[in-house]
Structures are given as structure tokens and as C-alpha cells.
């Protein structure tokens, strides 16, 4: 951080993200059914807090649409006080889940799901911009095109100043100087004129209140963690660095608790603003995240009238470029699709479809991950092979099992033996396999039982140590009457 270039990059990135957060926070406030200031306060407190306690440097957390969709029914049915209480309890849940190691579950998210997640986010961000480009005055379109041109070509001139900041400043100056009447940030809602003050939620502190808010709080905690951890993993890949997902999970909880006590609507990591910060602006430290939240409040409270004049066309142009940069174009290239296994393509497409259809990242990730597991299980199940030989003296049949034995492959195991035709002694060699679960042990028991019914003996050999322990513990205990 001693390098002046790093300071300049982080400061300018924070300023760009702070500007981009304003219309987003206001829009999410509308979704949640609260005053625009509530979303702006949440973005301020989330960004500043997570910059200190979070586990992923340069990632932006603020008010988000995913969280807004979860808590909107609470605000609509029970009032704002219950919404704030829900945010605080969700933060507590996130701390508990983070401490219990929920972040480790990210290891089970396949790459195809990650690619689908990224592509779906890019599509959702793009679709969210379309209302700003429909049924609007015609000058919006040339302004939008000019913004895209600046974002594409200005970096070729210099990388000292972020292109998004240049686009926002230039288009704002043009519209104000020429008196062009187009939708502006101010049209989204009134900006706050003072900093938020801490306080307790206006709800009765009773068991009834807890049972009312708990389901919504748990849903918010899970959605927020999933979106945050997926975004953190994406930033890890972009920056080629590692981050503490456990610290990020706990940090998200702390940030939501702080946000709740300041009367905010809660939030989580934001993929769009994070991409602006990391990929477009080149930020890499916590300073950019801290300044994004700080600049957001300063811009609203001190420079509210100026910020209100920013044309939405400028911000839409920035977000469209973010979509383009976020989407994994290589994943849909014909060359890639020809080489990719059909199951992987199915998982990726299903993840995209579910996320876009439901506008819920959690649904898409869960459906994609479950589908990937089914595809994997089906593929691995066919790898279990059974070969047999008869000893020259004809007294022993030796069966050799290769591959992995688990619930999917073990189901076929019982039918692979010649119970009637084999000699009196049977050896089952498992040195080339691994016994993973109770289903496999039960299948081996069934094989032994079928041979025993014909007066034949079975010897199981070659079990590795973990398989032997599992087999010794469960064998003979998985059928009724034992």
C-alpha cells in the first residue's frame, strides 16, 4: 500500500463503485418496499463493516436484490421493525453457520455450476438494465452508446483513470450543460441528508416475535452466504489469490448485525459492483471496499444534488460492460461445447435457467449441484466391474471387483455372481476397489447370504483399511432380525 499507484487505483475504484451503488441500492429498496434511504444506509454499513471483518479483500457487499426478495414479505406483512429484527437475526445465523464450517461446502460446488452461476449473474445484471432502456426519451440511446464507446476506447488511451468514472463524469457534464431531459439518479428516489443513527428494532422482544422472524432470517442467511461465498470464489480465481471463506461467512453476519442496528435492510456480496471494483477498476485491497461505502454516504449527504443529476444512461452503460466482462464467453464457444461432456453442459445450462427463471441464485446453485452429483454418480456407477476366474482344480471361483462401490454401483453388484454354477468356495477380491457406504456392505452381505443358502462359503479379501473398518462395523447388522 506504499505505492502511490495502488492508492490511486483503490481510491478511484471506490469512487466508481460508490456511484454505481446508489441507483442499485435505491432499486433494491423499492423491491423490499422500504424508503430509498434504507437501502443506501445498508450499502454504507455493509461495505464499511465487511471491509474490516470480511475474508475476501476487494469484494463489495451492500444491499442486494436477492436479500430484498427474501425479506420483502416480512416488511409487507409485519412492518419495518420486524424487517430490521430479521436482518439482525440473519446476521446471528450467518455467524453460527460460518463458525460451524458451512463455507467448506463450497468444495462440493462443481466447476460447471460455477460457470453457470457466473453466466446467469451476467444475464440477470443485463436484464435489470433493460427497464432503463425502454419507454425512455430518445436522447438516452445516444448517451448510452457514447458511454459504451468511452468504456471500450478510453482504456486504450490511458489506464490511470478508470473508464467508468470518465463515462459517468462526461455524460453528466454533457446532460447538465446541454439541459438534456433524461432519467437521472435523482428520479430513483430522494437521497438521505444525514448519516444513520444506531437503535433497536421497534418490535416486542417475545418468543412470538422470534418464531415470526426466524424462517425469514434463516432464508436470508443462507441466500446471503451462498451468494457471498460464490462471489468470493470467483474473485479468488480472477485475482489468483486465496481468501478465508469462514472469515467471510462470519464477517457477513457481523456486517448484517451492524446494518440492522443502523436501520438498514441487510445485504451480501454484490457480483456486479465486485466486478467493477476488481475486474474493471483493478482494485485488490480492503481500502476500495471501505471507500466505496464511505464515498456512497459522502456523495449522498454532501453532494446529493450533483449525484442526482447523473444520467441513468451512464450507469447502465457501466453495468452492461460489467455483464460483458462477467460472462464466460469461452464456455459457450462451439469448440468448447464440442469437447465438453454432455453432463457438464447440462449442469451449466440448468444452473443458468434456474437462476434466471427464479432470480434466486441459491435455487440455481442447489439445483445445479444436485444435478452434477446425479450425473457424477451415474458415471461412476458404470465404472464398477466384476470379473471371475475358476481355479484350475475347479474348487474355487475368484471374483475381482474393480472401481468404486457406493449406493449407485452396489445395486448392480448382487446380480453379477453365478450362485448356482459356482463351486463350493468363492473368493471376492476387493483390492482394486473401495467400499464407501452401507449400501455396499449390504450388497456384499446379500451376496454371501445367497451363496450360504446353497451351502457355499465366501471369503472377502483385499479390503483396504477404511473399507475393512466399515465392513467390519456394519456387516451382518443391516438386515432385520440382527
pLDDT above 50 for 28: yes
Query: pLDDT at position 469, please?
Result: 92
Query: pLDDT at position 69, please?
Result: 77
The C-alpha atoms of residue 27 and residue 65 are separated, in whole angstroms, by: 8
pLDDT above 70 for 102: yes
Query: pLDDT at position 382, please?
Result: 65
Closest CA to 187 of 312, 299, 43, 63: 312
pTM strictly above 0.85:
no
| pLDDT tens, position by position, 303-357 | 888 888 889 898 888 888 878 877 888 889 898 888 888 888 999 999 999 988 8
| pLDDT tens, position by position, 195-218 | 888 999 999 999 999 999 998 998
Mean pLDDT of 95-108: 86
Mean pLDDT of 354-383: 79
pLDDT above 70: percentage of residues in the chain: 97
Computed over every residue of the chain, the mean pLDDT equals 87
Counted residue by residue, the chain has a size of 482
| pLDDT tens, position by position, 423-474 | 889 999 999 899 988 989 999 999 999 999 999 999 999 999 999 999 998 8
Any idea which residue has 442499485 for its cell?
24
- Label residue 406 left, alpha or beta by phi (over 0 means left) and psi (-120 to 50 means alpha): beta
The mean-pLDDT minimum among 228-232, 250-254, 392-396 falls in: 392-396
pLDDT bin (cut points 50, 70, 90) of residue 2 is low
What radius of gyration do the chain's Cα atoms show? 29
Query: pLDDT at position 338, please?
Result: 86
Query: pLDDT at position 342, please?
Result: 86
Closest CA to 168 of 17, 391, 375, 355: 17
| pLDDT tens, position by position, 64-75 | 877 887 888 899
Query: pLDDT at position 412, please?
Result: 79
pLDDT bin (cut points 50, 70, 90) of residue 32 is confident
Do residues 347 and 113 make contact, with C-beta atoms less than 8 angstroms apart?
yes
Do residues 227 and 66 make contact, with C-beta atoms less than 8 angstroms apart?
yes
Query: pLDDT at position 254, please?
Result: 97
Closest CA to 59 of 327, 247, 193, 207: 247
The C-alpha atoms of residue 283 and residue 9 are separated, in whole angstroms, by: 6
Query: pLDDT at position 188, please?
Result: 78
| pLDDT tens, position by position, 158-186 | 777 778 888 888 999 999 999 999 998 88
pLDDT above 90 for 275: no
Mean pLDDT of 283-301: 93
pLDDT above 70 for 478: no
pLDDT bin (cut points 50, 70, 90) of residue 482 is very low
Query: pLDDT at position 479, please?
Result: 63
For the ranges 142-146, 280-284, 341-345, the maximum mean pLDDT occurs at 142-146
Which of 148 and 192 is assigned the larger pLDDT? 148
Amino acid at each position: 500500500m506504499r505505492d502511490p499507484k495502488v492508492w490511486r487505483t483503490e481510491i478511484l475504484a471506490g469512487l466508481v463503485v460508490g456511484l454505481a451503488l446508489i441507483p442499485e441500492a435505491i432499486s433494491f429498496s423499492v423491491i423490499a418496499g422500504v424508503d430509498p434511504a434504507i437501502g443506501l444506509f445498508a450499502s454504507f454499513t455493509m461495505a464499511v463493516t465487511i471491509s474490516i471483518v470480511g475474508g475476501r479483500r476487494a469484494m463489495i457487499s451492500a444491499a442486494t436484490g436477492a436479500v430484498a426478495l427474501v425479506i420483502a414479505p416480512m416488511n409487507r406483512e409485519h412492518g419495518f421493525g420486524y424487517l430490521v429484527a430479521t436482518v439482525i437475526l440473519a446476521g446471528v445465523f450467518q455467524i453460527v453457520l460460518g463458525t460451524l464450517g458451512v463455507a467448506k461446502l463450497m468444495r462440493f460446488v462443481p466447476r460447471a455450476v460455477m460457470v453457470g452461476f457466473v453466466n446467469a449473474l451476467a444475464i440477470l445484471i443485463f436484464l435489470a438494465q433493460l427497464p432503463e432502456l425502454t419507454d425512455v426519451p430518445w436522447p438516452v440511446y445516444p448517451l448510452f452508446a457514447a458511454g459504451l464507446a468511452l468504456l471500450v476506447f478510453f482504456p486504450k488511451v490511458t489506464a490511470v483513470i478508470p473508464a467508468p468514472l470518465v463515462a459517468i463524469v462526461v455524460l453528466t457534464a454533457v446532460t447538465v450543460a446541454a439541459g438534456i431531459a433524461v432519467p437521472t439518479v435523482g428520479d430513483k428516489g430522494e437521497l438521505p441528508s444525514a448519516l444513520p443513527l444506531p437503535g433497536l428494532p421497534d418490535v416486542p422482544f417475545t418468543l412470538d416475535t422470534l418464531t415470526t422472524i426466524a424462517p425469514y432470517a434463516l432464508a436470508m442467511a443462507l441466500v446471503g452466504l451462498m451468494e457471498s461465498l460464490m462471489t468470493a470464489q470467483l474473485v479468488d480465481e480472477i485475482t489468483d489469490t486465496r481468501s478465508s471463506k469462514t472469515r467471510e461467512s462470519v464477517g457477513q453476519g457481523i456486517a448484517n448485525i451492524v446494518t440492522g442496528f443502523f436501520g438498514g435492510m441487510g445485504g451480501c456480496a454484490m457480483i456486479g459492483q465486485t466486478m467493477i471494483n476488481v475486474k474493471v477498476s483493478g482494485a485488490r485491497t480492503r481500502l476500495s471496499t471501505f471507500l466505496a461505502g464511505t464515498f456512497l454516504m459522502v456523495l449522498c449527504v454532501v453532494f446529493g444534488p450533483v449525484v442526482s443529476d447523473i444520467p441513468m444512461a451512464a450507469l447502465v452503460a457501466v453495468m452492461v460492460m460489467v455483464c460483458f466482462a462477467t460472462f464466460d464467453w469461452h464456455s459457450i464457444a462451439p469448440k468448447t461445447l464440442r469437447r465438453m461432456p454432455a453432463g457438464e453442459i447440462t449442469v451449466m445450462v440448468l444452473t443458468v435457467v434456474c437462476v434466471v427463471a427464479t432470480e434466486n441464485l441459491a435455487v440455481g446453485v442447489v439445483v445445479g449441484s444436485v444435478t452434477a452429483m446425479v450425473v457424477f454418480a451415474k458415471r461412476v456407477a458404470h465404472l464398477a466391474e466384476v470379473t471371475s476366474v475358476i481355479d484350475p482344480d475347479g474348487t474355487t471361483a475368484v471374483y475381482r471387483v474393480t472401481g468404486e462401490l457406493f449406493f449407485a454401483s452396489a445395486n448392480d453388484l448382487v446380480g453379477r455372481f453365478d450362485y448356482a454354477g459356482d463351486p463350493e468356495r468363492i473368493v471376492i477380491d476387493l483390492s482394486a476397489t473401495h467400499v464407501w457406504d452401507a449400501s455396499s456392505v449390504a450388497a456384499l452381505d446379500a451376496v454371501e447370504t445367497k451363496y450360504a443358502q446353497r451351502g457355499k462359503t465366501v471369503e472377502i479379501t483385499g479390503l483396504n483399511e477404511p473399507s475393512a473398518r466399515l465392513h467390519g462395523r456394519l456387516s451382518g447388522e443391516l438386515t432385520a432380525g440382527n
